[in-house]
């Protein structure tokens, strides 16, 4: 690597590292998702009249990165499916049943990254395996690094914060109830802060 890097190249390396490069690299650093600042929201068309919004409230996960090896990536996230919250208890109970999330048989969904492509100074595409209802499919998220560095209220803490979006076809995972009246495409919006261990 050249000793002199352009600002754009340096930013790309910094972003890639913040997206957790290299769990097996010699100087990998570990981050843990801050559950109090982690949101996985969704949006689904409802009968063509509106969109139903909701989120999952129980999110855990780890990140590993090495700034010297930004192309090797590692992100692992687990979401408790019973934590679904659409602001309506009756609807949430239905979402937990076999028609949708089937939480009794599948209490979690998981995402494990497999590749990261840097697309800009603070943007990238993260591809990984999403396992939902026992079915695993590849998913690509558009990711933005919002900020990484010391926490302004506690500089001893190092934080990395990200926003991400993607969409999935729920029928691909066997969730076919009421298609097409209830939308087949599920838009996903993610906000995450992670703390360096």
Query: What range defines the domain where residue 115 resides?
Result: 7-196
Q: Which of 11-20, 76-85, 153-162, 165-174 has the lowest mean pLDDT?
A: 11-20
Mean of pLDDT over the chain: 87
Residue 89: phi, psi to the nearest 5? -65, -40
What's the pLDDT tens digit per position in 11-35? 455 555 445 443 344 466 899 999 9
What's the pLDDT tens digit per position in 145-159? 898 889 999 999 999
Is-above-0.85 flag for pTM?
A: no
The count of structural domains within the chain is: 1
The pLDDT, as a whole number, for residue 123 is 86
Does residue 162 form part of some domain? yes
Does residue 1 form part of some domain? no
Angstrom distance (rounded) from CA 145 to CA 161? 6
Whichever domain contains 173, its CATH number is 2.40.128.110
Angstrom distance (rounded) from CA 15 to CA 7? 12
Does residue 2 form part of some domain? no
Does residue 39 form part of some domain? yes
What one-character DSSP code corresponds to residue 114? E
Does residue 102 form part of some domain? yes
Average pLDDT over residues 48-67: 90
The dihedral over CA atoms of 35, 36, 38, 39, expressed in degrees to the nearest 10, equals 120
Does residue 111 form part of some domain? yes
């Amino acid at each position: 690597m050249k000793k002199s890097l352009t600002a754009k190249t340096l930013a790309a390396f910094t972003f890639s590292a913040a997206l957790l490069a290299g769990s097996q690299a010699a100087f990998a650093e570990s981050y843990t998702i801050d559950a109090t600042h982690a949101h996985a929201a969704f949006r689904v068309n409802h009968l063509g009249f509106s969109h139903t919004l909701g989120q999952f409230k129980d999110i855990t996960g780890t990140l590993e990165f090495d700034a010297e090896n930004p192309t090797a990536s590692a992100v692992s996230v687990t979401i408790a499916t019973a934590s679904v919250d659409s602001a309506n208890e009756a609807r949430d109970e239905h979402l937990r049943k076999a028609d949708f999330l089937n939480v009794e048989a599948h209490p979690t969904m998981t995402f494990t990254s497999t590749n990261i492509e840097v697309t800009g100074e603070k943007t990238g595409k993260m591809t990984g395996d999403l396992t939902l209802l026992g079915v695993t499919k590849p998913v690509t998220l558009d990711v933005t690094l919002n900020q990484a560095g010391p926490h302004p209220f506690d500089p001893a803490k190092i934080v990395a914060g990200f926003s991400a979006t993607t969409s999935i076809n729920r029928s691909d995972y066997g969730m076919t109830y009421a298609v097409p009246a209830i939308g087949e495409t599920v838009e996903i919006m993610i906000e995450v802060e992670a703390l360096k261990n």
